[in-house]
A = this chain, B = another copy of it.
Amino acid sequence: MSTIGFIGLGIMGSPMAVNLAKAGHTVRGWNRSPGKAGALVEAGGVEAASIAEAVRGADVVITMVPASPQVEEVAYGDDGILANAEDGALLIDMSSITPQTSIDLAARAKEHGVRVLDAPVSGGEAGAIEGVLSIMVGGEQADFEAARPVLEAMGTTIVHCGPHGAGQTVKAANQLIVAVNIQACAEAVGFLEKSGVDLEAALEVLNGGLAGSAVLTRKKANFLAGEYRPGFKLALHHKDMGIVTDAARTVGATLPVGATATQLIASAVARGDGDLDHSALLRGVRLMSGQEEK
């Protein structure tokens, strides 16, 4: 069992820290805004008063924060992780950030004797609570093996994808496919509705064939009801499309349908739909086709 400093007790981080504590690890959690450690403490963890207090003496540090700037802040600050972590500690960053930030973090951490894995997740709040996240890991093979007992408390599909940044790259590809497929399904829904087809019957038969997907399975109810409670917010998917756009530009990859989906998500956020679930891309399809909102 490990002693774990856990930085970031938000919607995802809190249940992940809880699952670590329940699995028997010693977990010291810290969150920027206070009052987020209740569930962790109830599960046997401890609330730390500072990042330093969370990470000192820990053999594993986990970060789960919103984006690249927050990772850099908690890692590089004077009272941050690298300044306080033990020599030889393993830092597992599970945030979804740019691959380049993960690569840079690994290099800077090495100077402090800290090993790093990037390990972003897919599965949402429900997956975090149930401990069934998909975890995409980049970094050294030996560090991946060392991290596995810790990761297994939070996820079920845990895959080493390559060197530092590879986990973030796969997460970016995940967000690319999901965005485009949601938009494709939304366009199909708009077309079916305008054609006067029985939408529920149509989605059933579509999901039984080659058009079938996790998107169609999990977002069907939203599409049918026109209700978009997150789930995963369009504002966060907007951030992620920025990551995949930048990463693709960096490696020289071309994303024609990805670019279109990126613009349509940007449009949804600009129209004020950022706090809705990403299945609300259907609202943009309706708007473009002159359909009434449900």
Contact = CB atoms under 8 A, between A and B. Distances in A.
Interface of A: 99, 122-124, 134-136, 157, 159-163, 165-166, 169-170, 172-174, 176-178, 180-181, 183-185, 187-188, 190-192, 194-198, 201-202, 204-206, 208-216, 218, 244, 247-248, 251-258, 260-261, 264, 285, 288-290
Nearest to A133: B209
A159 B201 contact: yes
A293 to B, nearest CB: 16
A166 B198 CA distance: 8
A201 B144 CA distance: 14
Nearest to A160: B201
A4 B251 CA distance: 58
A290 B254 CA distance: 10
Number of copies: 2
A97 B284 CA distance: 29
Contacts of A159: 201-202, 204-205
22 contacts: A122-B209, A122-B210, A123-B210, A160-B201, A162-B196, A166-B197, A166-B202, A169-B191, A169-B197, A172-B191, A174-B211, A177-B181, A177-B213, A180-B183, A180-B184, A183-B256, A187-B257, A190-B253, A191-B253, A194-B251, A254-B288, A256-B264
Max chain B Cβ within 10 angstroms of own Cβ: one of A160, A177, A212 = A177
A156 to B, nearest CB: 8
A255 B281 CA distance: 12
Which of A157, A190, A202, A248 counts the most B-chain CB atoms under 10 A from its CB? A202
Given A191-B172, A205-B157, A210-B122, A184 B254 contact: no
Contact of A177 (B99, B174, B188): B188
Contacts of A176: 184, 187-188, 191
A188 B205 CA distance: 26
Given A174-B209, A214-B211, A252 B187 contact: no
Q: Nearest 8 CB-CB pairs, A to B?
A: A213-B213, A180-B184, A122-B209, A177-B211, A194-B251, A173-B188, A191-B253, A159-B205
A190 B248 CA distance: 9
A282 B215 CA distance: 22
Contacts of A169: 191-192, 195, 197, 202
Of listed A135, A206, A248, residue having the most chain B CB within 10 A:
A206
